[in-house]
Protein backbone atom coordinates (compact mmCIF):
# COMPACT_ATOMS: atom_id res chain seq x y z
CA UNK A 1 0.00 0.00 0.00
CA UNK A 2 2.88 2.37 0.87
CA UNK A 3 4.45 1.63 -2.52
CA UNK A 4 1.31 2.69 -4.41
CA UNK A 5 0.91 5.77 -2.19
CA UNK A 6 4.49 6.81 -3.03
CA UNK A 7 3.89 6.32 -6.77
CA UNK A 8 0.71 8.38 -6.58
CA UNK A 9 2.57 11.12 -4.71
CA UNK A 10 5.32 11.23 -7.38
CA UNK A 11 2.74 11.42 -10.20
CA UNK A 12 0.88 14.19 -8.39
CA UNK A 13 4.09 16.19 -7.96
CA UNK A 14 5.01 15.76 -11.63
CA UNK A 15 1.56 16.89 -12.75
CA UNK A 16 1.77 19.87 -10.41
CA UNK A 17 5.16 20.90 -11.84
CA UNK A 18 3.86 20.61 -15.41
CA UNK A 19 0.74 22.64 -14.64
CA UNK A 20 2.84 25.39 -13.06
CA UNK A 21 5.16 25.71 -16.07
CA UNK A 22 4.61 29.20 -17.34
CA UNK A 23 3.29 29.80 -20.81
CA UNK A 24 5.39 32.33 -22.72
CA UNK A 25 3.62 34.84 -24.99
CA UNK A 26 5.67 37.04 -27.31
CA UNK A 27 4.66 39.76 -29.77
CA UNK A 28 7.03 39.00 -32.63
CA UNK A 29 7.70 40.67 -35.99
CA UNK A 30 9.71 40.60 -39.18
CA UNK A 31 10.39 43.95 -40.81
CA UNK A 32 12.44 44.98 -43.84
CA UNK A 33 12.99 48.66 -43.06
CA UNK A 34 14.55 49.58 -46.46
CA UNK A 35 18.17 50.63 -46.45
CA UNK A 36 19.14 54.28 -46.21
CA UNK A 37 19.16 55.17 -49.91
CA UNK A 38 19.58 58.85 -50.87
CA UNK A 39 17.59 58.40 -54.10
CA UNK A 40 14.47 57.60 -52.08
CA UNK A 41 13.80 61.34 -51.78
CA UNK A 42 10.89 61.92 -49.38
CA UNK A 43 10.87 58.20 -48.58
CA UNK A 44 14.46 58.41 -47.36
CA UNK A 45 15.27 56.90 -43.97
CA UNK A 46 15.75 60.28 -42.29
CA UNK A 47 12.05 60.99 -42.81
CA UNK A 48 10.91 57.50 -41.81
CA UNK A 49 13.07 56.61 -38.80
CA UNK A 50 10.87 58.23 -36.16
CA UNK A 51 7.75 56.62 -37.64
CA UNK A 52 9.41 53.19 -37.58
CA UNK A 53 10.42 53.55 -33.93
CA UNK A 54 6.98 54.84 -32.94
CA UNK A 55 5.33 51.93 -34.77
CA UNK A 56 7.45 49.37 -32.91
CA UNK A 57 6.70 50.98 -29.56
CA UNK A 58 2.99 51.54 -30.22
CA UNK A 59 2.51 47.95 -31.40
CA UNK A 60 4.32 46.60 -28.35
CA UNK A 61 6.67 44.48 -30.44
CA UNK A 62 8.99 42.50 -28.19
CA UNK A 63 11.31 40.82 -30.68
CA UNK A 64 11.80 42.15 -34.21
CA UNK A 65 13.94 40.59 -36.94
CA UNK A 66 14.90 43.39 -39.32
CA UNK A 67 16.47 43.41 -42.76
CA UNK A 68 18.42 45.99 -44.83
CA UNK A 69 19.71 47.80 -41.76
CA UNK A 70 22.85 49.86 -42.30
CA UNK A 71 25.05 50.90 -39.39
CA UNK A 72 23.68 54.44 -39.16
CA UNK A 73 20.14 53.01 -39.15
CA UNK A 74 21.08 50.57 -36.40
CA UNK A 75 22.27 53.48 -34.28
CA UNK A 76 19.10 55.46 -35.01
CA UNK A 77 16.98 52.50 -33.95
CA UNK A 78 18.95 51.99 -30.75
CA UNK A 79 18.51 55.67 -29.88
CA UNK A 80 14.83 55.65 -30.80
CA UNK A 81 13.89 52.45 -29.01
CA UNK A 82 14.53 52.81 -25.26
CA UNK A 83 14.26 49.47 -23.51
CA UNK A 84 15.47 47.51 -26.54
CA UNK A 85 18.84 45.97 -27.30
CA UNK A 86 20.11 44.58 -30.59
CA UNK A 87 22.35 41.78 -31.78
CA UNK A 88 23.93 41.63 -35.24
CA UNK A 89 26.86 42.64 -37.47
CA UNK A 90 27.36 44.04 -40.95
CA UNK A 91 27.40 41.36 -43.62
CA UNK A 92 30.45 42.53 -45.57
CA UNK A 93 33.10 42.43 -42.83
CA UNK A 94 31.37 40.97 -39.76
CA UNK A 95 31.62 44.38 -38.09
CA UNK A 96 29.96 47.55 -39.39
CA UNK A 97 30.18 47.34 -43.15
CA UNK A 98 27.12 46.45 -45.23
CA UNK A 99 23.60 45.49 -44.30
CA UNK A 100 22.75 43.98 -40.93
CA UNK A 101 20.02 41.44 -40.23
CA UNK A 102 19.67 42.40 -36.56
CA UNK A 103 17.39 41.11 -33.86
CA UNK A 104 15.93 43.83 -31.64
CA UNK A 105 14.49 42.64 -28.33
CA UNK A 106 13.03 43.95 -25.08
CA UNK A 107 15.90 43.71 -22.64
CA UNK A 108 13.57 43.77 -19.62
CA UNK A 109 11.98 40.49 -20.74
CA UNK A 110 14.78 38.60 -22.47
CA UNK A 111 18.36 37.67 -21.76
CA UNK A 112 20.75 36.63 -24.54
CA UNK A 113 22.53 33.44 -23.50
CA UNK A 114 24.41 33.19 -26.78
CA UNK A 115 24.27 34.70 -30.24
CA UNK A 116 26.18 35.22 -33.44
CA UNK A 117 25.96 35.71 -37.20
CA UNK A 118 26.79 33.16 -39.90
CA UNK A 119 27.14 33.61 -43.64
CA UNK A 120 24.85 31.80 -46.07
CA UNK A 121 27.71 30.32 -48.05
CA UNK A 122 30.06 27.37 -48.26
CA UNK A 123 32.09 29.12 -45.52
CA UNK A 124 29.42 30.06 -42.97
CA UNK A 125 31.81 31.21 -40.25
CA UNK A 126 33.91 33.44 -42.51
CA UNK A 127 32.75 37.00 -43.11
CA UNK A 128 31.98 38.38 -46.52
CA UNK A 129 31.59 35.28 -48.69
CA UNK A 130 28.91 35.11 -51.39
CA UNK A 131 27.30 31.68 -51.40
CA UNK A 132 26.65 29.44 -54.39
CA UNK A 133 24.87 31.34 -57.21
CA UNK A 134 24.04 34.34 -55.02
CA UNK A 135 24.38 37.94 -56.14
CA UNK A 136 25.11 39.38 -52.68
CA UNK A 137 26.65 38.48 -49.38
CA UNK A 138 23.87 37.03 -47.25
CA UNK A 139 23.74 36.33 -43.52
CA UNK A 140 21.63 34.96 -40.70
CA UNK A 141 21.82 36.42 -37.20
CA UNK A 142 20.70 34.32 -34.26
CA UNK A 143 20.22 34.56 -30.53
CA UNK A 144 19.58 31.96 -27.88
CA UNK A 145 17.18 33.74 -25.53
CA UNK A 146 15.98 33.10 -22.01
CA UNK A 147 12.64 34.59 -21.06
CA UNK A 148 13.44 35.99 -17.63
CA UNK A 149 10.11 35.41 -15.89
CA UNK A 150 9.78 31.74 -16.80
CA UNK A 151 13.35 30.70 -17.54
CA UNK A 152 12.21 29.22 -20.84
CA UNK A 153 14.87 29.03 -23.55
CA UNK A 154 14.21 29.54 -27.26
CA UNK A 155 16.07 30.51 -30.40
CA UNK A 156 15.51 33.44 -32.75
CA UNK A 157 17.01 33.49 -36.25
CA UNK A 158 16.73 36.36 -38.72
CA UNK A 159 17.81 36.41 -42.36
CA UNK A 160 17.52 38.04 -45.78
CA UNK A 161 17.78 35.50 -48.60
CA UNK A 162 19.33 36.28 -51.96
CA UNK A 163 17.23 38.05 -54.59
CA UNK A 164 18.84 36.22 -57.55
CA UNK A 165 20.32 32.84 -56.66
CA UNK A 166 17.84 29.97 -56.48
CA UNK A 167 20.55 27.62 -55.24
CA UNK A 168 21.78 30.21 -52.74
CA UNK A 169 18.29 30.53 -51.24
CA UNK A 170 17.79 26.76 -51.01
CA UNK A 171 21.25 25.98 -49.61
CA UNK A 172 20.97 28.95 -47.26
CA UNK A 173 17.64 27.62 -45.97
CA UNK A 174 19.18 24.20 -45.32
CA UNK A 175 22.10 25.80 -43.48
CA UNK A 176 19.69 27.73 -41.24
CA UNK A 177 17.85 24.53 -40.35
CA UNK A 178 21.12 22.77 -39.50
CA UNK A 179 22.19 25.63 -37.23
CA UNK A 180 18.84 25.64 -35.40
CA UNK A 181 19.09 21.88 -34.76
CA UNK A 182 22.69 22.24 -33.62
CA UNK A 183 22.07 25.15 -31.24
CA UNK A 184 18.70 24.43 -29.59
CA UNK A 185 17.61 20.99 -30.79
CA UNK A 186 13.91 20.52 -30.07
CA UNK A 187 13.48 23.70 -28.04
CA UNK A 188 11.25 26.44 -29.54
CA UNK A 189 12.70 28.31 -32.52
CA UNK A 190 11.47 31.20 -34.65
CA UNK A 191 12.82 32.18 -38.06
CA UNK A 192 12.09 35.61 -39.51
CA UNK A 193 13.17 36.99 -42.82
CA UNK A 194 12.74 38.59 -46.17
CA UNK A 195 12.95 35.57 -48.49
CA UNK A 196 12.76 37.64 -51.69
CA UNK A 197 10.38 34.96 -53.02
CA UNK A 198 6.86 33.75 -52.25
CA UNK A 199 5.56 30.59 -50.59
CA UNK A 200 5.66 28.91 -54.01
CA UNK A 201 9.46 28.99 -54.05
CA UNK A 202 11.91 26.16 -53.52
CA UNK A 203 13.52 27.95 -50.57
CA UNK A 204 10.19 28.24 -48.73
CA UNK A 205 9.29 24.63 -49.50
CA UNK A 206 12.71 23.52 -48.25
CA UNK A 207 12.04 25.14 -44.90
CA UNK A 208 8.53 23.86 -44.29
CA UNK A 209 8.97 20.28 -45.60
CA UNK A 210 12.27 19.46 -43.94
CA UNK A 211 12.33 16.71 -41.30
CA UNK A 212 12.92 19.52 -38.83
CA UNK A 213 9.45 21.03 -38.98
CA UNK A 214 8.94 24.77 -39.37
CA UNK A 215 5.43 26.15 -39.86
CA UNK A 216 4.29 29.38 -41.47
CA UNK A 217 2.90 31.62 -38.72
CA UNK A 218 0.65 33.40 -41.21
CA UNK A 219 -0.99 30.14 -42.29
CA UNK A 220 -1.44 28.51 -38.89
CA UNK A 221 -2.57 31.61 -36.99
CA UNK A 222 -5.92 31.36 -35.24
CA UNK A 223 -6.74 34.87 -36.47
CA UNK A 224 -5.33 37.01 -39.28
CA UNK A 225 -5.67 40.72 -39.98
CA UNK A 226 -4.54 43.25 -42.54
CA UNK A 227 -2.99 42.95 -45.97
CA UNK A 228 -2.14 39.68 -47.72
CA UNK A 229 1.18 40.93 -49.08
CA UNK A 230 4.30 42.57 -47.69
CA UNK A 231 6.20 44.19 -50.59
CA UNK A 232 4.55 47.27 -52.12
CA UNK A 233 7.53 49.46 -53.18
CA UNK A 234 6.28 52.55 -51.33
CA UNK A 235 2.80 51.92 -52.77
CA UNK A 236 4.12 52.14 -56.35
CA UNK A 237 3.53 48.48 -57.18
CA UNK A 238 0.08 47.70 -58.62
CA UNK A 239 -1.99 45.78 -56.08
CA UNK A 240 -2.33 42.72 -58.31
CA UNK A 241 1.47 42.40 -58.40
CA UNK A 242 2.09 42.72 -54.67
CA UNK A 243 3.33 39.56 -52.98
CA UNK A 244 4.07 38.24 -49.52
CA UNK A 245 7.84 37.69 -49.47
CA UNK A 246 8.46 38.25 -45.74
CA UNK A 247 7.83 35.40 -43.33
CA UNK A 248 7.73 34.26 -39.73
CA UNK A 249 8.26 30.50 -39.40
CA UNK A 250 7.94 28.69 -36.08
CA UNK A 251 8.89 25.26 -34.78
CA UNK A 252 6.16 22.73 -34.03
CA UNK A 253 5.86 23.45 -30.29
CA UNK A 254 4.83 27.07 -30.92
CA UNK A 255 1.23 28.18 -31.21
CA UNK A 256 0.33 31.28 -33.24
CA UNK A 257 -2.61 33.19 -31.80
CA UNK A 258 -2.71 35.99 -34.34
CA UNK A 259 -0.94 37.21 -37.47
CA UNK A 260 -1.17 40.78 -38.69
CA UNK A 261 0.23 42.57 -41.74
CA UNK A 262 -0.49 46.27 -41.16
CA UNK A 263 -1.56 48.11 -44.27
CA UNK A 264 1.04 50.56 -45.59
CA UNK A 265 0.49 54.25 -45.03
CA UNK A 266 -0.53 56.53 -47.86
CA UNK A 267 1.81 59.26 -49.02
CA UNK A 268 5.44 60.05 -48.20
CA UNK A 269 4.60 61.31 -44.71
CA UNK A 270 3.13 57.94 -43.66
CA UNK A 271 5.21 55.12 -45.18
CA UNK A 272 7.20 52.97 -42.79
CA UNK A 273 9.13 51.21 -45.55
CA UNK A 274 8.72 49.69 -49.00
CA UNK A 275 7.66 46.51 -47.16
CA UNK A 276 4.87 45.97 -44.70
CA UNK A 277 6.01 44.28 -41.50
CA UNK A 278 4.39 41.05 -40.36
CA UNK A 279 3.46 40.66 -36.70
CA UNK A 280 2.69 37.37 -34.94
CA UNK A 281 1.47 36.78 -31.39
CA UNK A 282 3.08 33.48 -30.45
CA UNK A 283 2.81 31.16 -27.44
CA UNK A 284 4.79 28.23 -26.13
- Residue 222: partners with Cβ closer than 8 Å, 6 or more residues away: 256, 257, 258
Domains and CATH numbers, the chain: 28-283 (3.60.10.10)
pLDDT at 268: 82
pLDDT at 267: 84
User: Is pLDDT at 8 greater than 80 in this prediction?
Assistant: no
How far apart are alpha carbons 118 and 139 in whole angstroms?
A: 6
How far apart are alpha carbons 203 and 252 in whole angstroms?
A: 19
Angle at 264 between CA 245 and CA 50, to 5 degrees: 105
What average pLDDT score do residues 230-239 get? 96
Q: How confident is the model at residue 20 (pLDDT cuts 50, 70, 90)?
A: low
Instruction: Select the more confidently predicted residue: 259 or 8.
Output: 259
Residue burial 240-251, b: 16+ Cβ < 10 Å; e: rest? eebebbbbbbbb
User: Is pLDDT at 6 greater than 60 in this prediction?
Assistant: no
pLDDT at 130: 98
- Residue 170: partners with Cβ closer than 8 Å, 6 or more residues away: 202, 203, 206
How far apart are alpha carbons 169 and 162 in whole angstroms?
A: 6
**Contact call for residues 124 and 168 (beta carbons, < 8 A):** no
Q: How confident is the model at residue 21 (pLDDT cuts 50, 70, 90)?
A: low
User: Is pLDDT at 170 greater than 80 in this prediction?
Assistant: yes
- pLDDT tens digits for 100-155? 999 999 999 999 999 999 999 999 999 999 999 999 999 999 999 999 999 999 99
Predicted structure pTM score: 0.92
Amino acid sequence: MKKYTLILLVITCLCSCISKEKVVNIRYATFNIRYDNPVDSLNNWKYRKDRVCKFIMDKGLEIVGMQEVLYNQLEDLKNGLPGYSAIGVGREDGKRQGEYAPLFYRNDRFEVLDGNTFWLSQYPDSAGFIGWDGACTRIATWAKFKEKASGRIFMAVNTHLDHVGTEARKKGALLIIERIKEIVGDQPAILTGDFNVTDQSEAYTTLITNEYVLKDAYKIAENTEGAEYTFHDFDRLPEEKREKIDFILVSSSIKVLKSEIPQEGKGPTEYLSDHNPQIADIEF
